[in-house]
Amino acid sequence: MMNRIILAIDTCTELCSAALWINGNLDGLAKEAPREHSQQLLPMVQTLLERHNLKLTDIDGLAFGRGPGSFTGIRICTSMAQGLSLGANLPCQGVSTLAAMAQQALQVHQVQQVVCAIDARMGEVYFGHYRLQNGQLQQVSKEVVATPEQILQQVSLDSAPAIAVGTGFESYPQLLQLAPALTLSDQVRFPDAKAIASIAASSDEWHSCESIEPVYLRNTVTWKKLPGRE
């Protein structure tokens, strides 16, 4: 897919976004509108297609934010992806919203590791830890939903330069204690469809629209010790 056209969408957090990957070039639209995703997303897609003189049938694949995030936002994103892909017979790929934020942070801040946290309400965050290895984004440990206290007990960062991204750190600033020099990015707060498109372009994990599934974490994951921790 690196030299093809990918449409990416995301509504899993407060930010609604859409993007086009066209042979390695990115164009996107985004708006922070937490209760207007279902009204905002399709016009964004249409604007991008018209801007590049494309039709939906010209697209080679559709990538979408699969979660974690807002339950309602994830459902909107998944259903929109299924609807768009079904009509044009497009292969689909779900991309982690946490991985998307990590991808953005690596590009913006030029660091080697990123910790991502989305406010999950109920005193918890959706949390992920990523590193840059051989030029590629790598997941260090399984994405979890947990309290800040659990994360501080179970996660440790090495000495490589790191950045924190996401609303979880804004709601629970004690998470910045994960590393002495850990700072919160003021440029990456939410996942963006541009990053989702970039991740999808370098992956071969494409599926039919009937087989795609959202990832809620809270319904499917209970806290366990993270890999490598005793």
Tokens found for residue 100: 């998307």
| Whole-number pLDDT of residue 223 | 38
Cα 105 to Cα 3: distance, rounded to the nearest angstrom:
24
Q: What is the mean pLDDT of each run of 10 residues along the chain (230 residues)?
A: 87 98 97 93 98 97 97 95 94 98 94 96 96 90 95 91 96 96 95 97 93 83 40
| Whole-number pLDDT of residue 136 | 86
Q: Are strands 183-184 and 144-146 parallel, antiparallel or unpaired?
A: unpaired
| Whole-number pLDDT of residue 1 | 61
Model pTM above 0.85: yes
| Whole-number pLDDT of residue 226 | 42
CA-to-CA separations, 221 to 47, 61, 230, in angstroms, rounded: 38, 29, 19
Cα 31 to Cα 198: distance, rounded to the nearest angstrom:
19
CA torsion angle 195 196 198 201 (round to 10): 180
